[in-house]
Structure 1
Amino acid sequence: MLCFAYGSNMSTQRLAARIPARFVTTALLPAYRLAFHQRSGDGSGKCDIVPASEQSAVYGVIWEVASHHKPTLDRYEGLGVGYNETWLTVTDLASDRQFEVQAYVGNVTALGLRPYIWYKHHVLAGAREHGLPAYYIRALERIEAHHDHDAERHTLEMALHGHAEPLVRGV
């Protein structure tokens, strides 16, 4: 099964900590925009895709996921609780080939949510790792993030990318 990751699961390290998957390609989802308005159980904002104008687009990564690993990914994504599943058509950035892919779409959204620093770091790490367009990465960099009150979680999440520094308050 082909899955379209547009948030933290774009990062190979983040996804590998959850399930094994094979990278297929990078892709573009036209007429959508990225929002950090999916309410997480921890109160922070996670990524979601929202239908938008024809000029808008979301970039992401297509992963091939074995069917026996899909239920595990569904649990991580909160399928049926935080996210619903949908099927979309995306376009390969290298060849313009189209793919039918599964994606998670948020169903518990709210205005004013912000991601934690570590979550934003996963999203940026995946975008950089897979060579998404520089203007898109700059837009991700401008997303306002805040410190996680759980310093241990922050440290563990940052360690996935080789950043073992503890959370420093007030920075």
Structure 2
Amino acid sequence: MLCFAYGSNMSTQRIAARIPARFVTTALLPAYRLAFHQQGDDGSGKCDIVPASDQSAVCGVVWEVASHHKLTLDRYEGLSTTYDETWLTVSDLAGDGQFEVQAYVGKVTSIGMRPYTWYKHHLLAGARERGLPAAYVRALERIEARLDPDTEHHAREMVLHGLDAPLERGA
């Protein structure tokens, strides 16, 4: 099955730490915007996609995932408790066609949420790795992040990218 990742799962290292997946393409989801109002179990803001009436669009990565691995990803994403599942049509960024994809949409939202710096790092790593449009990456860079008070968790997440990074403000 094809899954559309628009948050931390855009990063090859992040998705590989969870399940095997094969990169298919980068894609655009028109008439949606990215939001960080999905409340994570850790109290931080996670990515969500929200319908938008303007010219907004969300860029992301399409992964091919075996059905038995999709069940594992569902557990990581908190399917049915934190996120619901939907089917959407995305367009290949190279203009080579459209794909019907599964995506997660938030169901536990809260205004004023911000991601942790390590989560933002996963997001940016995936966007840069897959060559998302420069303007989109710049918009992601401007997202305000906060430090994870659990420094060990921060370190574990950063190690996925081969980094032994100190805590960074707003990284």
TM-score interval for Structure 1 and Structure 2 normalised by the shorter chain: over 0.9
1:1-171 equivalence runs, <5 A: 1-167=1-167
CA distance in 2, matches of 1:168, 1:54: 34
With 50-59 and 26-35 compared, the bigger mean Cα shift is at 50-59
The verdict on how the C-alpha distance between 1:80 and 1:142 changes in structure 2, with shifts beyond 3 A counting, is same
Unpaired segments of 5 or more residues in structure 2?
A: none
With 157-166 and 69-78 compared, the bigger mean Cα shift is at 157-166
The verdict on how the C-alpha distance between 1:62 and 1:168 changes in structure 2, with shifts beyond 3 A counting, is closer
Task: Tell me the amino acid that sits aligned with residue 98 of structure 1.
Answer: Q
User: In structure 2, the residue corresponding to 1:154 is in which secondary structure?
Assistant: helix
Runs (4+) of structure 1 exceeding 2 A deviation are 165-169
CA distance in 2, matches of 1:73, 1:106: 15
Conserved in 2, the CA contact under 8 Å of 1:31 and 1:54?
yes
CA distance in 2, matches of 1:79, 1:51: 20
User: In structure 2, the residue corresponding to 1:20 is in which secondary structure?
Assistant: coil
Conserved in 1, the CA contact under 8 Å of 2:117 and 2:168?
no
User: In structure 2, the residue corresponding to 1:68 is in which secondary structure?
Assistant: helix
CA drift at 1:105: 0.2
CA distance in 1, matches of 2:50, 2:132: 19
CA distance in 2, matches of 1:128, 1:168: 19
Q: TM-score, normalised by structure 1?
A: 0.96
Q: TM-score, normalised by structure 2?
A: 0.96
Q: Deviations over 1:59-102 (max 9, x none)?
A: 00000000110110000000000000000000001134010000
CA distance in 2, matches of 1:167, 1:133: 27
User: In structure 2, the residue corresponding to 1:41 is in which secondary structure?
Assistant: coil
Conserved in 1, the CA contact under 8 Å of 2:33 and 2:51?
yes
Q: CA RMSD in A?
A: 1.3
Unpaired segments of 5 or more residues in structure 1?
A: none
CA drift at 1:165: 2.4
Q: Deviations over 1:88-137 (max 9, x none)?
A: 00000113401000000000001100000000000000000000000000
Paired positions, count = 170
